[in-house]
Chain A
């Protein structure tokens, strides 16, 4: 297996140009919604609104201004599949269409997908959707086809400000720590890394540098796998079984008594 690869997205240098969105669509031949005929969302400069089967990259815009404008920030973040080390989508896929590649990334094989949508519900980040052209669940492949021939993913290649960094997870973590240190030294105490360590789903192979709470960026503060409920539900199943067992015993006993 090759070294684990992924993205480190430094949102503090993102300029919201959406070159990543367009480069992704161009390389992966993804259509525009409704042939490009849309309506203005009114939500800042975000008109594609979400990650789904035909939007594998999505730039979020968050306007934060006090009424008198004395405080103001316009946060931008290019969102993408997190390529979780413990991936919910992979866990629930009934056909085995979703695989972990030699680069430790998560890829949906379109030809094996039956369109059941289980993975869509299982993803705690909401990155998967059905591509209406193929009728199958789709999301970022981290440009698996490009990586196979030694090329970086299209979005990282197109990013003009190095907000999207591609590389080995080991290198990206070093880069992220250095950038975090630099920002903290410059007085940006709100900066932190999201998903860089194993505590979050075993580690996100696409992790972020953020300067506000995850919810502000539409990210879950504590994402969970569908299987997280297994232990609890197993206990409850056991408790249920015991209760039912006892109830049946008592009920037999009662019935027996009644017969007497």
Chain B
């Protein structure tokens, strides 16, 4: 971001929530870059921005769609050869979409294939869909018809299996004139997102919107780049992934991907949340973003899993190598070619097991126990529902630094205080484990740039506090002991699970702490027969069991027993252009900018001297960064049509993870709610959708249960828009901050921010107690009356906007109601993220 000429922060309050990372946009600004903040509130980020564009919460797609339309209609974009060259060659703009696809333009707000949702499995009726799409009509038009030839038997080797998946590449029209090219579909789709429409939907004055659009366009092109940064204010919506996709679409049109100072930056909300999705705590994915084996897909055998999950063109053609190496890491010597490398021992998922449905399941008594490590669900989404779920568990383990609300919910929650629940009736047995702090153990952080940085133990944790590593290690050891004598087939996997992380340090061994380097080695990988020989990179992975590697994307971080690259701390010399390649290690292969082949033109020359990053020197790819491309593949070399993997892509296809080697403006597969973004109103909104007859996402997830009612459209009892957020001074539910007096004195009390206009209407004075309510609950808070909040005019009507930090709860030095008493279990169909950033409420003087 320090190389950006313009930084747009939308869906994020970067200065407040990522103050340390915010040094980079600020350094760009000091060099003359423009800083734009698009947000309902005037925040600490807006305070240092050149432009603050106010939009109401839940209208980001309308704003971004307006930018897309502005760009496509602008003379500059049509005239500048750079944009055309980038878009024709590096995106799927020229690809022709199948005849059966119908857009929202054709179907008044929905895409082709919408149907009723039918649960696929009776054991888990908790997926929450209100509708679903048959996505088959969204695909590219095939060049020739015909199913792939019958797949050959399973491997290894698996190359014949991958080859059997090849289908003819899709048709293209590089003039972009064909009416069914992605480009023409995109252009038609966004044509209704005019500046006037943006103002009607978002409430942002047209002039301000145009100022933003002009600034972004002026700072994009051959010699200039614009970056976007977002955080959970884009994700926490019933169409969150579509918002991010809309930004990616815009950035591809502007040539702002794969280049220095460009991109779409996901600001992760915790120190290593990137790491926890890479080496996943996600239910639906195994290491390195491979899909978790599922009972609902054709995943019956390793061969079936590979046939379902492998794409023959692009780098994912290597999936068999990643998967077999992963299974070797799970089951070690027991995993053989004959038993499908233990694939049958691997657990399968039977539906959506993410946070929201798991707490619904808990309320239904379907869940026996919960391990809560670094989580505080007692103040989380629709908190009362979550606490009632906790109350139906048989046992609950809380491992944290302090006694969080979750640890004491049975004793002092609002339900106990109100008499709704009585402590003696709650059968949940609660175990509390005091946790060590990060400076008390060795380990790695993976930051938002996918960069691993090693941290070292500075001191022993006090008393009985133990690390998360210790807890997991000890739990696994004890469970393995318990299962050791089992003869049940279902326990085979657990019996074969490899678990050898005991520390060699006598002191740590005595404390029961595992060795973090042994875990890093398992993640990095090694040669199965020579465990001391670490793998140097994922290019060395094999599909025959001769390599063992938990997470292919991390392969290379620990290439030799004495070389932990995450521990490097060598900065580039001041002033020299570079990518800081000797500072930490970024996956994949220490590349700092993904798809950086796009920083050079088709012929491999930098787009401009100023934006030089990676280029072809006549014999190989070179540059400041590690090239994200086959190192010796000449820029204009042709794709081999019958080849698999990278050979199936040409020398000018930068997006090597994509089967067609280009960035996707239109998403033909992989999304549940449409191949293009469309503005839908949040599940709760005070206004009808001004853009389409379809009010909100037709396929959102909603869980119908007591205490989770939604306000119908235009409900006069809840006329205001509410959004939630974090403050710099506190962290998430406050479990790490409301116990520190140095932080609580900075923000001592729960408050809700309202405009002076709303305050006057309701007779509320600054710091008065107010009551805020939704159909789910009611909270009390102090009012902070400020002109940083404003009144919006949405489609001709006046709408008040209310803002609420969600840091409080009933434990700690500073206590207060939890903002999440007000939120709902309603979410997005792709990833089940809840809609915490836009809902409706009422405000009254308390």
Contacts and interface: CB of A to CB of B under 8 A. Distances in A.
Contacts of B788: 63, 65, 72, 74
Given A15-B15, A37-B814, A74-B46, A160 B744 contact: no
A22 interface: yes
A21 B746 contact: yes
A45 B744 contact: no
B786 interface: yes
Contacts of B19: 15, 17, 19, 160-161
B42 A72 contact: yes
Given A38-B814, A40-B748, A45-B747, 13 more contacts: A13-B29, A15-B19, A16-B728, A17-B728, A22-B743, A32-B742, A37-B748, A74-B47, A74-B788, A76-B47, A161-B19, A161-B26, A182-B30
B20 interface: yes
Interface string A25-61: 1100001111111111110110110000000000000
A65 B44 contact: no
Nearest to B52: A72
Contacts of A63: 786-788
A13 B745 contact: no
Contacts of B211: none
Nearest to A30: B742
Contacts of A162: 23, 26
A46 B844 CA distance: 25
A153 to B, nearest CB: 17
B42 A36 contact: no
A231 interface: no
B703 interface: no
A15 B741 contact: no
B728 A37 contact: no
Nearest to B23: A160
Most central of A18, A25, A36, A72 by chain B CB within 10 Å: A36
Contacts of A174: none
A38 B745 contact: yes
A38 B744 CA distance: 8
Contacts of B745: 32-34, 36, 38, 47-48
B26 A35 contact: no
Contacts of B32: 186
8 contacts: A13-B48, A36-B743, A36-B748, A40-B751, A41-B767, A63-B787, A72-B788, A76-B44
A72 B48 CA distance: 11
A18 B729 contact: yes
B782 interface: yes
Contacts of A19: 19
B647 interface: no
A17 B44 contact: yes
Contacts, number: 123
B813 A15 contact: no
Interface in A153-194: 160-162, 182, 186
A172 B219 CA distance: 32
Nearest to B745: A32
A148 interface: no
A38 B749 contact: yes
A67 B756 CA distance: 9
Contacts of B728: 16-18
Nearest to A35: B741
Interface string B17-36: 00110110010011010000
A73 interface: yes
A255 interface: no
| Chain A CB within 10 A, most for which of B728, B745, B747, B786 | B745
Contact of B748 (A38, A44, A182): A38
Contacts of A228: none
B15 A17 contact: yes
A72 to B, nearest CB: 6
B44 A74 contact: yes
A36 B814 contact: yes
B625 interface: no
B766 interface: yes
A69 B790 contact: yes
B747 A31 contact: no
B61 interface: no
Contacts of A22: 742-743, 746
Nearest to A24: B742
Nearest to A34: B745
Contacts of B785: 42
A160 B22 contact: yes
A197 B227 CA distance: 40
A143 to B, nearest CB: 17
Contacts of A32: 741-742, 744-745
B442 interface: no
A29 B786 CA distance: 34
A42 B746 contact: no
Contacts of B46: 74
Nearest to B815: A37
A36 B22 contact: no
Nearest to A161: B26
Interface string A226-248: 00000000000000000000000
Contact of A15 (B22, B54, B746): B22
A94 to B, nearest CB: 32
Contacts of A26: 742
